[in-house]
Chain A
């Protein structure tokens, strides 16, 4: 019996981006999974969001686009190269901001220091209208809420297990996700996911039928746009720099001391790289131009 085709999971950016574990295939041709903080094994995903930026970090002949697609809860990072023919033919024709649907495979990167990053290898991208985005928000909210409720119940159980969770009315797959999440991530603050779903549904309701850019921003708590830390990060990089540049490791340490969030640091450094304020002469080394 052939393996069933991998389902395209509906996952919000906040859930996907906070993934810190993966299930790497040991057999040949077996799929890799990112295990989300709600315990969902994700190999392929489908999401809808706004194309915020696209930059070709490669060359004319062998392009490598890095694109950001924003959903109501966060940003998906996409890498598109020659092995993604359909996205490569479509992406250059699109100008931000455009509402997009993306079907893609998970992509992971683990730094030397063990920190773990996820992004997307798109298989296909296509334009989407507001009602379709809202249908995506609704089905993604429903599927996320199933997992979330099971995990909320699991977190307060003495001995969380699939059977008792199913007795409480959860689907088998939600119960399995919850048990999985608890063993990998321990007890988490789940309020952020609940708020994210609320914010997303709010956008579907308030922005219903209107073009996205005129829609009100997501309600507070869903995805607060943090104050700009660009200048702070740039100063810190300069402070850690020797003649060759600053070690990535040192920058992270300094930012940790200053209380700057790792994910935000990552985003900011990428922005600075994109605009050419800094560059990466070798991996792990950052230099201000």
Chain B
């Protein structure tokens, strides 16, 4: 290989690595060539060694997001970043940063993934070269590998892009209300509108009418926010296509806006008179609004009975002190913390003042008088009244890092007739 053949490659290398010494590059290149490596490949190896990322060899050129087929490599796209998250992920050998998020161009929204530290910033536009496309859980996504080069696009790129006109991300999935989970992106549901409250909000684009309410089918009741007034009323059965699910204290909540299709279904009806009853195992997975749980009280937890609350912030005082406001003359309150278990799972529940009064059969005032010297006696009394009792609770089930927690609005004894149930089960068992 002659000096003349090497020179242009060295020049190209020098362009990519302006800091490098030309003679050093030339020596490096000849080392590869001596082993029979062709100059173009040697160049790439050197660039990689020096930490330069080069677009994939097999660039197939610029594509819009909707043109992607899957399994392409070396794609160039121009996109706006809609969301971006970084997290540390354990791999077999070490911890690596995983970046994921959504990007859009004028045609559609797609997900991107990078294990190589490409961090896209929300609301910025980028030109990405050398990306690959793969299919993950049935969806095409952009994979930014080690060959990918991400450059911020010049001002004015994609200036005509209006994300709110694009369809929601992901394939449309039809679900019953109980299967809604926080984070789902494009769902189709049917339900009866139990309540609908219209209100005016101010947005960047002016005043807007939105609707808050409750949607129900036979399986569950779910709070919703409609960011557009579709004109449905309480009592209507509607089909919503293209909604998304957000989290409110561990309870999935349905959201939809003008991108969704909302249709009234006059032919369909749901029996929503009964509050849906769910198994504790299901509520451990995902919280619920206005739900019924039937189980046995298997524990009365510490912190039950008469407590004192801070007059400023309502926090429970510990030894007469509020964690925020210091020593206080507390306001007396009564509550009971229980564990209710139905054999499939366990929930903690906090019975408020009224329900605790109902259980005890006496008011807060009476409790104060009767149990003023001995807090412990009141707790004993609560244990006697509640431990082992079969209850039906109705209310919201929240979920946080300590697990599911119910705030019942209603408490009743379980008076299901076991006799009928036993007969039914026995007769079913006789069927071969």
Enumerate chain A interface residues (CB-CB to B < 8 A).
Answer: 1-2, 4-10, 46, 101, 103, 123-124, 126-128, 131-132, 134-135, 137-143, 145, 173, 194, 197-198, 201-202, 204-205, 208-209
Contact = CB atoms under 8 A, between A and B. Distances in A.
A145 B424 CA distance: 13
A197 B429 CA distance: 9
A8 B346 contact: yes
B158 to A, nearest CB: 39
Nearest to A127: B388
B388 A124 contact: yes
Given A7-B341, A126-B387, A126-B388, 12 more contacts: A4-B284, A7-B281, A123-B299, A124-B387, A138-B418, A138-B421, A141-B422, A141-B425, A143-B344, A201-B425, A201-B426, A204-B419
B343 interface: yes
A123 B301 CA distance: 13
Contacts of A46: 296, 298, 341, 343
Given A103-B298, A134-B422, A138-B422, A8 B416 contact: no
17 contacts: A4-B284, A4-B345, A5-B348, A7-B280, A7-B344, A8-B341, A9-B343, A46-B341, A101-B296, A124-B298, A127-B388, A128-B388, A132-B390, A137-B422, A173-B281, A204-B422, A205-B423
Contacts of A197: 429
Q: Which of B298, B418, B419 has the most CB of A within 10 A?
A: B418
Nearest to B280: A7
A135 B418 contact: yes
Nearest to A142: B425
B229 interface: no
A137 B418 contact: yes
B344 A202 contact: no
Contacts of B401: 1-2
Interface size, B (range) = 20 to 34
Contacts of A173: 281
B28 interface: no
A145 B429 contact: yes
Contacts of A209: 419
Contact of B403 (A4, A10, A126): A4
Q: Which of B343, B346, B419 has the most CB of A within 10 A?
A: B343
Contacts of A137: 418, 422
B411 interface: no
Nearest to A9: B343
B339 interface: yes
Q: Which 4 A-B pairs have the closest CB atoms?
A: A126-B388, A134-B418, A10-B343, A204-B422
B414 interface: yes
Nearest to A204: B422
B427 to A, nearest CB: 10
Nearest to A126: B388
Contacts of A204: 418-419, 422
